[in-house]
Amino acid sequence: MSDALVLVINSGSSSLKFALMDAQTGDAVISGAGECFGRDDARMSWKVDGEKTEKTLSAGSNHHQEAMDIIVGLIESNQLSDKLQAVGHRVVHGGETFSQATLIDDAVLGQIDALKALAPLHNPAHVVGIKAARQAFPSLPQVAVFDTAFHQTMPEKAYHYAISRQLYNDYGIRRYGFHGTSHYFVSREAAKWLNQAPEQTNVITVHLGNGASLCAVKDGQSVDTSMGFTPLAGLMMGTRCGDIDPSILEFLSKKGLSTDEIHHELIDKAGLLGVSELTNDCRGLVDAAEQGHKGAQLALEMFAYRVAKYIASYMVPLSRLDAIVFTGGIGENSLPVREMILKELAIFGYQADAEANAAARFGAAGQITTQASPLALVIPTNEELVIAQQAMAMA
Ligand code: ADP
């Protein structure tokens, strides 16, 4: 173990995930998560050296603070305090204010809080976590790493919607893009794989998890991405609809659905789950499709078709494409889905290599296309490592 440990924190409104990471090796020395904060069944679990412990949190207490106290206790009891150099916080929305990881002071915390206008569910929860961590580790640098930051290099023609300029000026309505930390990481890893400098690498990164997005990376920079003003846009996802005709909202509203009901339809009841009427879990869908479930078959076909269409459209901003890079739970593991996507891209000459495709899963990286095909890679993402390294760089 090196002497450079970083505490990585992802604080949600009712949860807090953490990992004490070696910023050089990427190994998590201690990791854990708390859930159901604010409720009587709030609890926390963590792993030290592979050994799992679970604890119920006190009813009625400030669970974020209680979780942080537990983390401090774990670090102290494992004699790791001297090695801890920084705290890195995942922050969903950095708006146009933050284009890179940023050392947190009172002013920065105020700016993160102000961005709750754009991310009402996430940013206030991050602020709670940051405050608790600042109290627990007052002498350590605290660094915010934003999901949106990597996409701040998009040109205007990519990030503007074709709506009145007034809506952008008044409300900041534009494409921000998310999953930036993952797109950044896998595009860098792809450059290493290709033996090229990141600044000379052009890839399309395809993050397929429960949330899913693509990014066109030109010369190492994001030039377009499929998520938009919110993470609802772009691809069909586990339970999210992705791109739809915006007039559907007005139509449903006139049918009597409230704004909240429409939102719920598009965010929680749509995507793989909505189409299959079965599950949002890719594994379950693949099994059901094999057994002839029509809804599962259609959901997977739509999913692959839409990813392929986005990939094809991202050839436009790239003058040259070095590789398509799959990542995320589905991208890293689902052979059939990757194969379906590459089949949809046959016009460009893509062809999956069955053996290589079968080998690249459960954390294994590698090429999944034949020698005759343009290149597609699988690269497992590691957002926590990016947060740890970017926090360490500011310590
Ligand atoms: P999140 O966006 O919640 O971080 P993940 O990146 O963990 O999501 O991806 C979740 C998705 O990955 C689920 O649809 C799940 O079925 C799929 N997945 C995970 N492991 C496998 C696997 N071994 N084979 C196929 N799909 C998998």
Condensed to tens digits (0 to 9), the pLDDT of residues 146-205 reads: 999 999 999 999 999 999 999 999 999 999 999 999 999 999 999 999 999 999 999 999
Does residue 116 sit in the same domain as residue 206? no
Last residue of a domain, which of 126, 146, 166? 146
Cβ atoms of residues 326 and 356 within 8 Å: no
CA 182 – ligand 1 centroid, Å: 15
Whether residues 217 and 355 share a domain: the answer is: yes
Is 202 annotated as belonging to a binding site? no
Count of domains for the chain: 2
- What confidence tens digit (pLDDT) does each residue in 207-252 have? 999 999 999 999 999 999 999 999 999 999 999 999 999 999 999 9
Q: Identify whether the C-beta of residue 208 lies closer than 8 Å to the C-beta of residue 307.
A: yes
Domain final residue pick, 109, 124, 146: 146
Write the residue with the smallest CA distance to atom 4 of ligand 1.
Answer: 209
Query: Is position 161 within any domain?
Result: no
Using CA atoms of 139, 91, 311, 163 in order, give the dihedral in degrees to the nearest 10.
-140
Q: Determine the Cα–Cα distance for residues 326 and 128; give it in Å rounded to an integer.
A: 33
C-alpha–C-alpha distance, residues 202 and 84, integer Å: 36
- Within a domain: 185: no
pTM value is 0.95
Ligand 1 centroid to Cα of residue 196, in Å, is 30
- CA distance linking residue 37 with residue 171, whole number of Å: 31
Q: Which of 132, 101, 115 is nearest to 34 (CA)?
A: 132
DSSP letters spanning 281-323: -HHHHHHHHHTT-HHHHHHHHHHHHHHHHHHHHTTTT-SS--E
| Domain shared by 285 and 348, yes or no | yes
Contact indicator for 93, 118 with CB cutoff of 8 Å? yes
**DSSP code of residue 195:** T
What are the angstrom distances between the C-alpha of 93 and each of 13, 108, 147, 213, 268?
Answer: 14, 13, 6, 16, 21
Which of 147, 282, 332 for a ligand 1 pocket mutation test, highest count of atoms within 8 Å of Cβ? 282
Domain span at residue 216 reads 195-383
What distances in angstroms separate CA 231 from CA 50, 145, 264, 309, one per listed residue?
33, 17, 14, 18
- The one catalytic residue in 147, 224, 322, 353 is 147
Pocket residue to mutate for ligand 1, from 35, 185, 268, 334, most atoms within 8 A of Cβ: 334
E-assigned strand segments in 151-226: 203-208, 212-218, 221-225
Say yes or no: 291 and 376 in one domain: yes
- Whether 125 is in a domain gets the answer yes
What residues of the chain score a pLDDT lower than 70? 1-2
Q: Tell me: do 132 and 228 sit in the same domain.
A: no
Can you point out the beta strands (E) in the chain? 5-11, 16-22, 28-35, 43-48, 51-56, 84-91, 102-103, 142-146, 203-208, 212-218, 221-225, 323-327, 366-367, 376-378
Could you tell me the CATH number of the domain that includes residue 320? 3.30.420.40
- Tell me, yes or no, if 69 is annotated catalytic: no
Q: For 228, how many CA atoms within 13 A lie in the half-sphere containing its CB?
A: 15
16 & 141 share domain = yes
Residue 265 counted as an annotated binding residue: no
Q: Tell me the pLDDT of the chain averaged across its residues.
A: 96
> Are 141 and 204 found together in one domain?
no
Give residue 1's pLDDT: 66
What does the pLDDT read at residue 288? 98
Are 32 and 105 members of one domain? yes
Residue at 154 is within a domain = no
